[in-house]
A and B are shown apart, each in its own frame.
Chain A
Amino acid sequence: GQNIDQPTEMTATEGAIVQINCTYQTSGFNGLFWYQQHAGEAPTFLSYNVLDGLEEKGRFSSFLSRSKGYSYLLLKELQMKDSASYLCAVSDNFNKFYFGSGTKLNVKP
């Protein structure tokens, strides 16, 4: 089966750094993804990791350790507009995507 865990909710301060963790157990692995979803809107793609290590894209970075079944999304210089849900997802060998339940990030002034 597929199991993807991430914290339900986090709070951080504007300008700070926040790390959102994701652990997974899947029967196959073809990549790990992070999506951002603002309330009432569709998810939008943030990052993709297939090899171990850190991928950096502006203020956002994503890390993957396949041996540990672990990933994190790092958000730097937090802005109020970063308040959203962050979804961790894994694709298996058959191009199926499995999503975690999402982490709601609240950014406070």
Chain B
Amino acid sequence: DVKVTQSSRYLVKRTGEKVFLECVQDMDHENMFWYRQDPGLGLRLIYFSYDVKMKEKGDIPEGYSVSREKKERFSLILESASTNQTSMYLCASSPDVTSYEQYFGPGTRLTVT
């Protein structure tokens, strides 16, 4: 079974802090994605990566950056956390650009106070 893990299920940070959310997949997938999920807005793509050290902006990249130094790990960075970044963050991976199925991690519920 594909396994996508995220570093924390729940996280509480203060405004202005730098926040790192880690995602690891164990199936040698090429593509990895970061989404945030908010009530009434669904899942919105923040960034995705189709290869090591490669990244593409999604719909809402502002206030976020990403890092992919190794194939299995994709990190989301909030440079200076703000209260409007309080959300559920979901990481996903898929085998390659031709694949249609994404495998999601359990999510990190981030609260910024």
Contacts and interface: CB of A to CB of B under 8 A. Distances in A.
Contacts of B43: 43, 87, 89, 97, 99
Contacts of A97: 33, 43, 45, 102
Contacts of B35: 99
B107 to A, nearest CB: 6
A95 interface: yes
B3 to A, nearest CB: 11
Contacts of B59: 2, 98
Most buried by A among B33, B58, B100: B100
A99 B42 contact: yes
A42 B42 contact: no
Contact of A42 (B45, B50, B105): B105
A31 B98 CA distance: 11
A101 B106 contact: no
Contact of A48 (B40, B90, B101, B105): B101
A109 B59 CA distance: 40
13 contacts: A42-B90, A42-B104, A43-B90, A43-B104, A45-B102, A48-B100, A50-B100, A87-B43, A95-B50, A97-B33, A97-B43, A97-B102, A101-B40
Instruction: Give 5 closest A-B pairs by Cβ, nearest first.
Output: A42-B104, A101-B42, A99-B43, A99-B42, A45-B101
B75 interface: no
Contacts of A98: 45, 59
Nearest to A94: B56
Given A101-B41, A101-B42, A102-B42, A95 B97 contact: yes
B58 A96 contact: yes
A94 B43 CA distance: 18
Given A41-B106, A42-B106, A42-B107, A99 B44 contact: yes
B24 to A, nearest CB: 14
A55 B43 CA distance: 24
B74 interface: no
A33 interface: yes
